[in-house]
Structure 1
Amino acid sequence: MDLQQMRYVVAVAETNSFTRAAERCLVVQSALSHQIARLERELGARLFERTSRRVRLTPAGMAFLPAARQCLDAAERAAAEVAAAVGEVRGRLAVGLIPTVAAADIPGALLGYRRKYPHVRISLRVGASEDLVEQVKQGSLDVAFLGLPPTMRPEGVAAHELARDRLVAVVAPDHPLADEPAVSLRRLSSETFVDFPAGTAGRIQSDLAFSAAGLSRDVAFEVTTADYVTRLVGPGLGVAMLPSAFAPQLTGVVTIEVTDAPTRVEYIIWSRFGHTPAAAAFLKALDIT
């Protein structure tokens, strides 16, 4: 077997289609199908179940896929290491971030990085902090920016603290609290809330603060992005709490200081087992060693 065959298997598995996989790999479908058939004969097992409507992995295919990805990643890393040895950074840089990251200018950092290292393929993924930690551990992300309550730390990864921030209340412009200079958690507890899903790091920091104050609240709207938080708060469907450093990016809402506000810590994380030359160059660009 060879790396090209593994690339074809991964492409079919990710697209669920021989046609789309061939388009992604820039080959004709017959050539891709032929190479996968050769691989299946060599392995002595079918990797895909093919019908007129769908393509899906067989149990053998599901067993083969993780190893194929590891081989491709290892080959990519080997090429990147050789390039780094002769003074050239290439390969991939996969970055993850939470929607409310505010401690770093990520678009600006990525733009400067791309100009300096044009041979590195950059990708970006937005998600929840706990998911980003797992993806860094698994190697699908090289670095990630996340926010956690001060009672939590990223586990199983290398981490560098970027900033600490307090949350502010976010209300509609015509809300009775909109003209107040500050508000307490007790006053907010009587409001209907828009927040992130229960159990996520973005939600836990607020839940812990209300619980520590002996208060309960009604979270009627659970969303996954800060943008949608403001889309619900703006018309007056509820109130929310978001990091103060992120607040200047909000439009159509009013932010208010919270006297006993919860806090969060922003981190950048990477694999504790080392990083690629591309990831090392990115961390260096951020003055993180």
Structure 2
Amino acid sequence: MFVTSSIAGQDGYMELQQLRYVIAVAETNSFTRAAERCLVVQSALSHQIARLERELGARLFERTSRRVRLTAAGAAFLPAARLCLDAAERAAAEAAAAVGEVRGRLAVGLIATVAAVDIPGALRDFHQQYPHVRISLRVGASEELVEQVKEGAIEVAFLGLPTTARLHGVNAHELARDRLVAVVAPDHPLAGETTTDLRRLSSEVFVDLPAGTAGRAQSDLAFSAAGLSRDVAFEVTSAYLVARLAAEGLGIAMLPAAYVPQLTDVTTIEVADAAARVEYVIWSRYTRTPAASAFLTILDIPAEEQDN
């Protein structure tokens, strides 16, 4: 749903559509891709941004034949533009909700190894029930998703965290607890074992997520608590690549037990003293759109818990 009202400026009127165009160019670094995203011809988008720049008395973008980037004025303008557009769309969604219709947007974030919820199935059910809501999906690291929920960039996120982690500044509902298992190539010497332990694994070369991420911390904390160190030779940003490198015999990995059944060409082994993790769904502590409330209801999050 698009809101097309105008906001009075010093010398004219700033249209919400212009804000949408500016945000699209800033996010794509391209007038062409921004026009495609906004479903307009490039000349119309460029004209509206140029008009806005004249009203503001400042250039928002530096344009060359090779790239487009924000000017200092554009970088200062962008956060407020996002807030303004979000507020306008939220106002329209709240008005629709008051007469029983859920509209607006639902931005969902998740880590790739979420196993407690069938995310595609939940989004399908939501779309069938609320077809006027614009759904978007982002995959990222747990710590990044927490910040995006706090900032209002996404409404709902699915995380996996060590059992020792504490969430601050968001509402959270625990979905499931799970343990990590070792993932090795089928011809690895450990492949014939049914169980192992961290001490045995500490002599292996590892494939893992980047240091500092919540997914990596689960294993790092377990080895540290056991007084052990390990060699992480391969750091990649997705669980899929972690599993693929392990399948090729380049190292071993540790991944959530509930996630690994969907993997192929690898063998999994229980780890007696493995780390545990908790899967959560989180949402904003301060503002919740009608679409976010409806999605949480589809996930069977009780209404009283949503109001915490």
- Using the size of structure 2 for normalisation, the TM-score is 0.90
Quick check: 1:169 aligned with 2:182?
Answer: yes
Q: Which amino acid aligns with 1:84?
A: A
- Equivalent runs, 1:185-200 vs 2, <5 Å: 185-200=198-213
Show the counterpart of 2:219.
206
Q: Which amino acid aligns with 2:237?
A: T
Show the counterpart of 1:228.
241
Whole-Å separation in 2 of the counterparts to 1:276 and 1:137: 14
Show the counterpart of 1:217.
230
Q: Secondary structure of the equivalent of 2:91?
A: helix
Deviations 1:164-192 (A, max 9, x none): 11111111111111121210111111111
Query: Could you tell me how far 1:229 is from its partner in structure 2?
Result: 1.3
How many percent identity over aligned positions? Answer: 80
Deviations 1:98-141 (A, max 9, x none): 11111111111111111111111111111110111111111111
Quick check: 1:111 aligned with 2:118?
Answer: no
Q: 1:20 to 1:196 in 2, by over 3 A?
A: closer
> Which of 35, 42, 59 is residue 46 of structure 1 equivalent to?
59
- Using the size of structure 1 for normalisation, the TM-score is 0.95
Q: Which amino acid aligns with 1:230?
A: A
RMSD (Å) for aligned C-alpha atoms = 1.4
Q: Secondary structure of the equivalent of 1:211?
A: helix
Show the counterpart of 1:23.
36
Show the counterpart of 2:95.
82
Q: Which amino acid aligns with 2:171?
A: A
Q: Which amino acid aligns with 1:280?
A: S
Deviates more, 1:153-162 or 1:259-268: 153-162
Whole-Å separation in 1 of the counterparts to 2:278 and 2:29: 40
Show the counterpart of 2:76.
63
Q: Secondary structure of the equivalent of 2:234?
A: strand
Q: 1:216 to 1:95 in 2, by over 3 A?
A: same
Query: Could you tell me how far 1:16 is from its partner in structure 2?
Result: 2.6
Query: Could you tell me how far 1:254 is from its partner in structure 2?
Result: 0.9
Query: Could you tell me how far 1:11 is from its partner in structure 2?
Result: 2.3
Q: Which amino acid aligns with 1:18?
A: F
Q: How many residue pairs align between the two structures?
A: 289
Whole-Å separation in 2 of the counterparts to 1:63 and 1:89: 33
Q: 1:19 to 1:174 in 2, by over 3 A?
A: closer
> Which of 133, 136, 139 is residue 146 of structure 2 equivalent to?
133
Q: 1:165 to 1:27 in 2, by over 3 A?
A: closer
Q: Which amino acid aligns with 2:218?
A: Q
Deviations 1:242-285 (A, max 9, x none): 11111211111111111111100111011111210000000011
Q: Secondary structure of the equivalent of 1:174?
A: coil
Deviates more, 1:271-280 or 1:222-231: 222-231
Whole-Å separation in 2 of the counterparts to 1:263 and 1:136: 24
Query: Could you tell me how far 1:149 is from its partner in structure 2?
Result: 0.5
Whole-Å separation in 2 of the counterparts to 1:17 and 1:233: 38
Q: Which amino acid aligns with 1:246?
A: Y
Q: 1:42 to 1:226 in 2, by over 3 A?
A: same
Q: 1:196 to 1:18 in 2, by over 3 A?
A: closer
Query: Could you tell me how far 1:28 is from its partner in structure 2?
Result: 3.6
Q: 1:212 to 1:49 in 2, by over 3 A?
A: same
Query: Could you tell me how far 1:21 is from its partner in structure 2?
Result: 2.9
Quick check: 1:144 aligned with 2:169?
Answer: no
Q: Which amino acid aligns with 1:137?
A: K
Deviations 1:53-96 (A, max 9, x none): 33322111111111111111111111111111111111111111
> Which of 234, 257, 269 is residue 244 of structure 1 equivalent to?
257
